[in-house]
Amino acid sequence: MKPAIVALAFLKANWEGRRVTYFDNFSVLVRECLRNLPDKVVSTEKLQLLMAEKFGVSISDSIIERILKKLKRDNVLIKEHGVYVLRLESLDEFEFEETRNEILKKWQELAKKLSQFAKQNYQKEWSETETEGVITSFLQNEGLRILSGDHNCGSQETNACDPSGKYVFASYVTEIRDSDPGSFSAVCTLIEASLLAEAMYFCESTEISASFKGTKVFLDTRFLLSALGYASAYARESRKEIMRLLSQYDAELCCFDHTIDEVKVILKACAQNLRGGQTYLGHGSSYEHFATEKFTETDVLRELGRLERNLRNLKIRTVSYSRLLSGEDKANKQELKRILDDEVHYSGLSALDKDINSILLTHKVRGSGPIAIVEKCVALFLSSNEAVVRAAGKFQDCLKENDDVDTIPLAWTVADLSTILWAKAPIRAPLLPRKKVIADCFAAIQPNESFRKRFLDAIDQLSKEEDILPDDVYVLRRDIELQRIAYDKVAGDEEAFCNGTVHEVLEYYRRRKIDRSVEERMNRIEEVFKRRAQQVAGAVSHVLFVAILIFLSIVCLNLLPNWTYLRKELFGVSARDIGKVVFFFLSLLGLFKIAPLDWVRRKTVECVAGRALILFKRMFDVWTPRG
C-alpha cells in the first residue's frame, strides 16, 4: 500500500466529513501545550518550544498563529488588550490525556501478550525493544490487510523453524481473532492509530511540480523592516523562513520603490529620535529594536546608507511600475480609497496612498481574468496588515465581471501564505518512540465510527487508481487550506498580536492594558464632566426660563414704568401691546401642548452644556500634572 494513498484518504475523510484541514489536526496538540503556559497570555514562540518538547513536532509560527485563530473561534482563547488570553476552563472539555493513555495501555498489553506468545509457541526471547520493533513494522506494512479482513497475512510463511516477527504477529492475530475479541479489537485500534500517524507525518519526497516560478511576491514595509533585521530576532527569523520557502519554490521576491521610500522615511525618523535621546514609541518595533540594541543616530544612518546592498543580499529586487497607472485607473483608485478608509484606520494620508498604489500595481502586473492556481497568479502582495488584505479582497470583488468565478486573492497575510507554503512541504515525524507518536495522533484526531468508515472507504477507492503520486497529497493539502483561508476571510477574525517571544507579547499586553485602563479612567472622568455640565446647563436654562416668564407677566400687567421704549410703536402697535399678544399666544399654545419655550430651553441646555464641558476639560488639563 502506497503511503500516499493513506495520506490522501486521510485528507478526504477529514475535509468531506468534518471540514477539518491538515493543519487543524495539530490544533489539539497546540491546545494541550496551552496547559503548560507559564502565563495566560499566548506567545507563538513559547508554543513552538512546547510543541517540540512535548510532542517532538517542529511547526511554523505562522501555522500556530492560524491555529490560535481557530481556537479563538472555539472559545478556547479570548482577545484581551490586543493579545490572545487563555480560558483555562475550556481545556477541560477535551479528553486528550485519557485517550492517549488508553492507546499507550493497549500498546503495552499487546507487547506483553505478543512477547509471551512468541516465547511459548516459537521459543523466541524478544527484548522490549525487539517486541516494539515487530509491532511497529507489522502495523505499518500489514495492518491495513487486517482491517480489510485478511487475518492470515504473513502466516503462510514456510520457514517455521525460524519464523520472522511478521509470521509470529500474524499467527497471534489469527489465534486471538475468535478466542480473545478484546485483544483483537485492541490490535485493530492500534492499526488505525498507526495509519493516522502515517497520514499526519507523510513526508515522501516530491518533485514539487507546482512551483511559484514566474510569480512576483511584493513585500510590504513592515515585512521588509523585519527581514532587514530592524525588529526582534524572533520576527527576523520568522520572515527569513518565509522568504526561504518562497525562494525554494522559485518565487521572485520584490518590493515597490514607494515601499523603499517608506522604509527610508522610517529609518530617518528613528535616527532623528535617537539623536535627542527621547523616549519615542513611533514606528513600532523598529525604533524599539534600535533603542534596545543601543543604536545611535549614526548607526541607523549607516543602515540607511547600505539599505540597497542589504536588499540585494536578501535577494529582494526593487521595482517601479508607476508607469502602469494611468488616468483610466482614477475610478478604481477612488473605489479602493473608499474601501481602505472603511477597513483600515490610517494615521496619515501617506500610508494610505502607498497601500493604494501597492494593491493597484499588483493588480496591473497580474492582469485581468480569473486565476485558479496560486502558484500561477503572476503577482501577489504580501501584507502584514489583515485589514489591508481584507480591503484588497473587497476591491477585487468589485472588479469581478462574473460573481460565479473565483480567483486567487491579490493580497495575502503572512500567516495565510506561510500556511500554503507549509502545506506543500512535508512535516517530519517526531523523533520519539513510535507508540508515543501514534498515541498522540489518535488522541488528537479521536476518530469516531463515521470517520473510520470514510477513511477506509477512501483508501479502498484510491487503491484502485494506479497513478497516485506523493505530489498529489501536497496539492490536495494546499487546495483544502485555500478553502479554509477563504472561509476565514468571510468569518472576519480579529487580528491579535501573538507572533513574538514571551517577553514581547507580555510587554505588548502590559502596555495595552495600561492604555486601556487610562482610556477607561478618562472615559469615566468625561462622563462625570458631562453630568456636571448638564446640571449646570439645566440650572442656567431654568433661571432664564423663569426670568422670561416673569418679564412677560410684568409687561402684560402694566407693572413696568412708562419707559420711553415701551411707548414706541411698531406698525401702530405699542411694545406693551405686542408683549400682551406674545403672552396670549404662548398661553394658547400651552393649552394644546405645544411648547415653543421648551424647544428654546432644550437648545439653551445643549449650548450651555457644551460650553461647560469644554470649560471643565480645560480646567482638568491645567490641574492635572504631566509625566
The model's pLDDT over 264-295, given as tens digits with 9 standing for 90+, comes to 999 998 888 887 655 544 456 788 888 888 89
Per residue in 463-506, pLDDT (tens digit) is 888 788 888 888 888 888 888 877 766 555 555 545 555 445 44
The SS3 of residue 162 is: coil
Per residue in 294-341, pLDDT (tens digit) is 899 999 999 999 999 999 999 999 998 878 877 777 888 899 999 998
pTM, 2 dp: 0.71
Report the distance separating Cα 624 and Cα 627, nearest Å.
10
Per residue in 451-465, pLDDT (tens digit) is 989 998 998 888 888
- Average pLDDT score over residue span 339-366: 87
CB count, 10 Å around CB of 181? 10
CB count, 10 Å around CB of 504? 20
Q: In the prediction, which pLDDT does 284 show? A: 61
The SS3 of residue 595 is: coil
Cell of 340: 481602505
Helix (H) or strand (E) holding 270: helix 257-276
What are the φ/ψ torsions at residue 83 (nearest 5 degrees)?
Answer: -130, 170
HSE, side-chain direction, 13 A CA sphere, residue 291: 19
Cell of 428: 517530519
pLDDT band at residue 520 under the 50/70/90 scheme: low
Question: Rounded to an integer, what is the distance from CA 611 to the centroid of its chain?
Answer: 45
Per residue in 140-192, pLDDT (tens digit) is 888 888 887 765 655 554 445 556 888 889 889 888 988 898 999 999 999 99
Q: In the prediction, which pLDDT does 603 show? A: 66
Which amino acid is located at 128 in the chain?
E
CB 348 within 8 A of CB 337: no
Least confident range from 105-109, 395-399, 430-434, 508-512: namely 508-512
